[in-house]
Chains A and B, each alone.
Chain A
Amino acid sequence: MKILRTIPVLLALAASGCILTSGQFMVSYDLGTVNITSPSAVVGVQVDLNEEDDYNEHKEDIKALADEALLGYVKNNKAEPLKVQIWLTPTLTTYTTDADVRANGVLAWGPLDLGPQEQLRVSWDRSAELLTAEGKQLLEQEVKGDGSFTVYVVGAAGDYSLTVTSGKLLAIIDAGI
């Protein structure tokens, strides 16, 4: 009789399978300092998540991307207001103009509004809100794929100059244990 009592529990556990043996794991990547002096002097950051132990530990069993953010400090170096965007290309690229980035990449994040000469610390919550659906889709595709892509920080329009310091890419992956 006691054994019979445990059957529903065991059946439920069996049915849940790998759903039970999964979790949400943090993977971060250092984007460092990015200094963009003009729309024709853009610098991309090539990301290879395979350099990160946390990613390698789970990459064979990643099911989805649960949360993601681009963190750090962003400064507008000009006297005019600036809308900051982040674009991604799914491969390792070296575009040097924002026109090339827009023609070949995906708008992943933004815009983040900065006043003249303003520097802002981008919080995790704020950053998650600024991620676009297309950006999330591309990030998830890359996290589940080869883990390499390129990040470009640009202004939305006009002439601009900006600096990112202590930049980080943060991903929370849904994966098996």
Chain B
Amino acid sequence: MRRALWLAAILVALAPTLATAGGRIGVGVFGGASFPIVQDDVGTGSTYGARVPLEVLPLITIEPYFAGSAMGEGEATLDGETYTRDGFDMTAFGGNVMLGSPSSPGFQLLPYVGIGYNHLTRAGSADIDEVGFNFGLGVGFAVLKKLSLQARGELNMVVTGDTSRKFGNLTVGVNYNLLKF
């Protein structure tokens, strides 16, 4: 419910811009690998999700997203004994701002930054509900008039007080252009 309200609020906020600027709206899904960065208690896992690219200006795309990750087990070997720790399950939603137009024809370079809400949970630990930042670079290629493929590399940084939990995500995805307005 809270997520739906967030998405609705984002769309309402964007409505005036969309009405005057003209642009395109699409939908996309993605999946790939998620790597913990400088985290001794988490292993490599997978990530997946969906996004809604809104091309509001010729070079600006706003992209609400939802993402989920299942991180692998952390491992510690102490005097020959191996202990494992449950990896985090993470859900996130937010928005990216991208320089570029993912639905344009040809090869596209797509740098972006974003902000989102992140929920991390695992057995025996208090849940982490914090803001996260995304910094990434994508490459896109339109394979059909309305269909494009993307590959992205992204740093996802979830703030935890004075420090952060950082994840490197490598994903591939497909975008479909729903309509022009």
Interface residues of B (CB under 8 A from A): 37-42, 74, 76, 78-79, 81, 83-86, 97, 99, 111, 113, 123-125, 133, 135, 157, 159-166
Contacts and interface: CB of A to CB of B under 8 A. Distances in A.
Given A24-B38, A67-B41, A174 B160 contact: yes
- Interface size band for A: 35 or more
Interface string A140-166: 000000000000000000000000001
A127 B123 CA distance: 10
Nearest to B36: A24
A3 interface: no
A12 to B, nearest CB: 6
B164 A16 contact: yes
A12 B133 contact: yes
A14 interface: no
Nearest to B163: A22
A23 interface: yes
B124 A28 contact: no
Contact of A170 (B38, B42, B76, B160): B76
Interface in A4-55: 5, 8-9, 12-13, 16, 18-20, 22-26, 28, 30
A177 interface: yes
Contacts of B38: 22-25, 177
Given A16-B157, A174-B160, A5 B123 contact: no
Contact of A124 (B42, B83, B133, B135): B83
A28 B77 CA distance: 10
Interface of A: 5, 8-9, 12-13, 16, 18-20, 22-26, 28, 30, 63-64, 66-67, 69, 71, 123-129, 131, 166, 168, 170, 172, 174-177
11 contacts: A20-B164, A22-B38, A22-B163, A23-B38, A28-B76, A30-B79, A64-B162, A64-B163, A126-B124, A129-B123, A131-B124
The A interface is mostly helix, strand or loop, or mixed, namely: strand
Contacts of B135: 9, 12-13
A30 B41 CA distance: 18
Residue of A5, A67, A126, A176 with highest tally of chain B CB at under 10 A: A67
A168 B78 contact: yes
A125 B123 contact: yes
